[in-house]
Structure 1
């Protein structure tokens, strides 16, 4: 237990000569610096929160309002306060003794109230303006006079230099749809998938639900929508993510891949240092709210709330339900290498350690020749276990002593870094390289990723990188934004020396890198090894294939005058029909971040129009012109459904919340049970691209990122992620389970390639008309 003695900052003992005190100067200095840093961070956070809270006004405008109140009332005798100054004066008991002083106090109070009123007026005016949806439904480039007038008012009120959270208080609440409207949209969405008899039965169930207990469920939900900031988000996080008991590896976590056509350095420690430095600089811009909020069409802000949990966040396992733990600050990361965990401090006092110094520290970790203790090498597999098993193991073996201390270090880290032994890269002549790379980022060897952390940054031995992301705290666009900013800083701003090492001067007295200590009893080690077997079985069942489509991309699709997303969704519908011989319920994620604390909604791509198009493609008697007409019609319907989902007019989140209400009330609904039991055999998602506006891929195509992917949602279904990367490239990530006799990712990959090619041929035959 020598390490326990070293952890003591000071000791004292009573002797015949008095009280003798012995303390460690270095530890005391560390504690002092940590406290100072914490105070500084808290002050900084509150200051930036204040500036965001009063936006579009600035703090100095308070002084302007007070001085203006003084000048008009006390100086010129002009009362612009509608009598409030005089009223305040009479409320102050010293008016007869100090009339001038009381007058200035009253003017000050009146100025403060006027300032607060101006803030509230501006923010609520913006909230009312942001409720307007006409801009979304107007034809592109052909805005109505109403929309133009709305845009002028928004530009006038929204300010010029918003901070990350400046618009949070002005964002409207997610609207609760009428029950009848949701049921109508639901029935329309499933009509292509049901025969006449099944549809008639479902229609009757929906009608009975609407006239019966559905009304009461809706009233409870209306009460929540009125009271809560967002009537969906907390239940969505709890029931879809945190109450799930399945392993989060493969089933929940997703991954993001590096730029595949270039690699700025082959030195693992240098790439780790430069990227981690860039990530911490991005964290500082988040903390200072220097990142601009994303604006749709430069006018309408998206909710930024999910950015709060990018860093210093861990999913803590529970026996029945997990919970998210977020710390306001963390000055260290945890690094995993060859079965060992290390605590790596990234700050010297309040200053971020530079890239060259971080490279030295990473090199020390790579050169460490010590052996992992029993159970340590595979320890992280517990985060890939069933959640109840991990929670019970955590309670039993990690509540005291060295294990608790080391686990706290991991969970309180800003994030986790894995220095990996594997090497993968893009090979145009060998697609299996990318398939293996993506699979490694999704599940690795099941113990090189701490799946509970908000994200684990994985650096391969050859310098390529990737990210594994825990899903409950946020959605993919948030991590994608961080990665875009990091990649730009790493590759285009700071760069590397000619020999591949990092720039910077290595100073003396670097903070020590410490190896985490564990005392794992034999029973715990047995649990770890048994969970490794189960996790490897789950990982080995994943069939993951990538498509790198570089013949054409968004530029060609736009020339066809259809939505790129709708175009790709129709290609996926065609590919799936060819693969399975049927249409199935399809999930496409869209965002609801136009509303406060919004996350996602489901777009249901299967429509009567999409099915008609797919059948036409398989019918050799249908002409090219008819097929294009049907494709455009299907794309128009899909685009409208996507817009409806973004505007809170989706189907699935409303029905999900009604089901949660039914569970709280302990009342069964045959209709809701049927809706929630329907499997998503085709689950799709588009990874956003160029959110930071820092990239011009027409000039630097080698930095195009391959996006990311996720595991299959259904045992006999596919999980497909895609990213429209630049004007001439599309990436697809196709996953399924090897154990299913109905799916095959290689077959589906070929069907997607064929479908995308067939859609291109359609427009080539008609010159894009």
Structure 2
């Protein structure tokens, strides 16, 4: 996924060498966007005509007239306003002004499941197999848990150091650079709740409180564990492990004394305005103690959640190894939403058996960047030679937290994060626990491992593009599941541009619709089905290229709408059209990462409560799907959808084999 060294014969380049010469994200021509938008309406109108909702040709002519009226009227003004915004933007019109606010920070829904993504790490081969089979008893921490947590911490910090020194050779693909600017900013970062619109914390200096520490959560208590020296050097792995062991010992002693962690972190799982109000209340009731606590949390490098449990595998699982289902539940939410701080950009989660994963706050960057970091962090199993057999001592002269006596213990290299809570806030925490548990219980998140074939077969025998092929399988599966088509969101990366982020690939198209209908019509021949699949994939690939090269329509349409002033939207028929909204009802929200051979899976929540959120990893022989829906939605069911995906992939394989055979005869 990345290269530490350049290919043989190539000059070593700094990590962000290419970033400095990337072009600006363009403001697309207005007519170009309107024409593409009208084309994406055609499959919706086709279905409408089929369902007796009016003639497609008449309905399309109506929208074409509205588009012409928009282009010659208010649309022309909006386009010029957007160009002015771009001319006044340092990097690009979208990222500098709108994207994080509109896509994330103004969204008031809880981050848990709704916004945060998750990654499941593969098993560490250094951990004895019997540990996974017989983990510590519930409520207890494990030795291998601490060892893996220390090893992962070191590996994450090592990657950060290489990025800071620009030692990672810039990798690229046919669609552009894999690794870009956000890689610098994912550490020492946190989202901060504010009424109406959140903000991101600023990057602290190395000497500021918490900046050299990781935030460790254990049984809902919060600790700061220093992992960098004053000069920014990474502590030895055995020392990190020793400090984590001291934290766990402190937790166990507190439990023995009958203490219970005040779950302040669960407040970050709440509605954003509720959380903003509670955070401000905490700051006003105790400006000194609680302000310091928030500063430490927000400045810390990342969160490490040590869970005193390993969720057991269910008795059975559908199309995935049973332990993976338990892994999903713990990484995406934990069993009850506790022992997490959902605002941190990166949260590493390690269960008592050493099973590990990551959850992340979505606004600073998309999951591609953390996946690259994780791929590096877990590429090498635990090096046992990095650890000592017995307890280790802090290096002389490198005690970062001066010997403060807290709870009867002189802390060196770590400290408790204390909060001052009154009865009102304790009640708020209990209520937030209930709301978080409700979100957790409603989330129907699961993994599907499809191992009958993968990208190797799709390319060699199917003669198709793997990503577009998987997208067509999802279109077919969704129709089988729901009995209707839906506007579909697939993420397109715009990393070819400076500060590029994403646009939308509208997978549901005239050609994808024709493919699905061909697959469901028994009268259609195998040859025609194969032709329909090939046509849909070519169409999808063309849309992907355009969206990735600054010619997408959805970000542009959003920018135009944001240029409207008070009362200007009244009478704009194009934007008031119900079909305009329907074309963006992403009841099928999808995104593909790399092959992900070092991940057990990935995932994110559905955007629409009655839809599906799907992340997938298309490997050579194995395709992994992370699928999430809501138990409360009467029309969706994750396990049922998994069966439809499997059936669709099997059906498509047969179509490709039959189509290839027919082509060979010809």
Normalised TM-score (structure 1): 0.73
Pair 1:208-2:208 in alignment: no
SS in 2 for 1:327: coil
SS in 2 for 1:176: coil
Q: Select the residue among 338, 346, 363 that pairs with 1:472.
A: 363
Q: Deviations over 1:320-360 (max 9, x none)?
A: 21111132442101101112111101123333211111112
Pair 1:616-2:518 in alignment: yes
Unaligned runs of 5+ in 2: 1-6, 49-55, 132-143, 400-411
Kindly tell me the number of residue pairs found equivalent between the two proteins.
595
Alpha-carbon distance in 1 for matches of 2:145, 2:638: 32
- Going from structure 1 to structure 2, the CA distance change for 1:380 and 1:747 (only over 3 Å counts) comes to same
Alpha-carbon distance in 2 for matches of 1:533, 1:629: 52
Deviation, structure 1 residue 573: 0.5
Match of 2:626 in 1: 733
Pair 1:717-2:568 in alignment: no
Verify the 8 A CA contact 2:492 2:503 in the aligned structure 1. Answer: yes
Q: 5 Å matches for 1:144-543?
A: 160-194=11-45, 195=48, 196=56, 198-228=59-89, 229-233=91-95, 234-260=97-123, 264=127, 266=131, 267-297=144-174, 301=177, 304-328=180-204, 329=206, 330-350=211-231, 351-368=233-250, 369-371=252-254, 376-399=261-284, 400-424=287-311, 430=317, 431=320, 432-444=322-334, 445-489=336-380, 491=381, 495-496=383-384, 508-509=395-396, 511-543=412-444
SS in 2 for 1:557: helix
- Going from structure 1 to structure 2, the CA distance change for 1:314 and 1:684 (only over 3 Å counts) comes to same
Verify the 8 A CA contact 1:264 1:496 in the aligned structure 2. Answer: no
Alpha-carbon distance in 2 for matches of 1:170, 1:441: 38
Alpha-carbon distance in 2 for matches of 1:452, 1:320: 16
Pair 1:758-2:648 in alignment: no
SS in 1 for 2:599: coil
Deviation, structure 1 residue 199: 3.8
Alpha-carbon distance in 1 for matches of 2:351, 2:18: 39
- Going from structure 1 to structure 2, the CA distance change for 1:436 and 1:343 (only over 3 Å counts) comes to same
Deviation, structure 1 residue 264: 3.8
SS in 1 for 2:541: helix
Alpha-carbon distance in 1 for matches of 2:349, 2:389: 18
Alpha-carbon distance in 2 for matches of 1:375, 1:520: 13
Alpha-carbon distance in 2 for matches of 1:749, 1:371: 44
Alpha-carbon distance in 2 for matches of 1:550, 1:269: 33
Alpha-carbon distance in 1 for matches of 2:484, 2:36: 22
SS in 2 for 1:706: strand
SS in 2 for 1:456: strand
SS in 2 for 1:606: coil
SS in 2 for 1:252: coil
Alpha-carbon distance in 2 for matches of 1:465, 1:734: 19
Deviation, structure 1 residue 480: 0.4
Match of 1:685 in 2: 591
Alpha-carbon distance in 2 for matches of 1:739, 1:300: 40
Alpha-carbon distance in 2 for matches of 1:450, 1:324: 15
Deviation, structure 1 residue 421: 2.2
Deviation, structure 1 residue 488: 1.2
SS in 1 for 2:353: coil
Alpha-carbon distance in 2 for matches of 1:644, 1:389: 40
Match of 1:639 in 2: 541
Alpha-carbon distance in 1 for matches of 2:229, 2:244: 16
Alpha-carbon distance in 1 for matches of 2:94, 2:338: 34
Alpha-carbon distance in 1 for matches of 2:193, 2:288: 19
Verify the 8 A CA contact 1:375 1:525 in the aligned structure 2. Answer: no
Q: Deviations over 1:352-389 (max 9, x none)?
A: 21111111221222222244798843211111111111
Match of 1:660 in 2: 562
Alpha-carbon distance in 2 for matches of 1:370, 1:767: 68
- Going from structure 1 to structure 2, the CA distance change for 1:385 and 1:263 (only over 3 Å counts) comes to farther
Deviation, structure 1 residue 313: 0.5
Query: What do you get for the CA RMSD once the two structures are aligned?
Result: 2.6
Verify the 8 A CA contact 2:312 2:326 in the aligned structure 1. Answer: no
SS in 1 for 2:486: coil
Deviation, structure 1 residue 449: 1.4
Verify the 8 A CA contact 1:425 1:464 in the aligned structure 2. Answer: no
Verify the 8 A CA contact 1:302 1:594 in the aligned structure 2. Answer: no
Match of 1:563 in 2: 465
- Going from structure 1 to structure 2, the CA distance change for 1:365 and 1:673 (only over 3 Å counts) comes to farther
Q: Deviations over 1:266-290 (max 9, x none)?
A: 5100000000011111111111121
Alpha-carbon distance in 2 for matches of 1:540, 1:581: 27
Which has more radius of gyration? 1
SS in 1 for 2:379: helix
- Going from structure 1 to structure 2, the CA distance change for 1:263 and 1:641 (only over 3 Å counts) comes to farther
Match of 1:14 in 2: none
Deviation, structure 1 residue 623: 1.4
- Going from structure 1 to structure 2, the CA distance change for 1:376 and 1:208 (only over 3 Å counts) comes to farther
Deviation, structure 1 residue 535: 1.7
Unaligned runs of 5+ in 1: 1-154, 691-702
Normalised TM-score (structure 2): 0.84
Q: 5 Å matches for 1:65-144?
A: none
Alpha-carbon distance in 1 for matches of 2:546, 2:391: 51
- Going from structure 1 to structure 2, the CA distance change for 1:245 and 1:757 (only over 3 Å counts) comes to same
User: Which one has more relative contact order, counting CA pairs under 8 Å at least 6 apart?
Assistant: 2
Deviation, structure 1 residue 540: 1.2
Verify the 8 A CA contact 1:457 1:467 in the aligned structure 2. Answer: yes
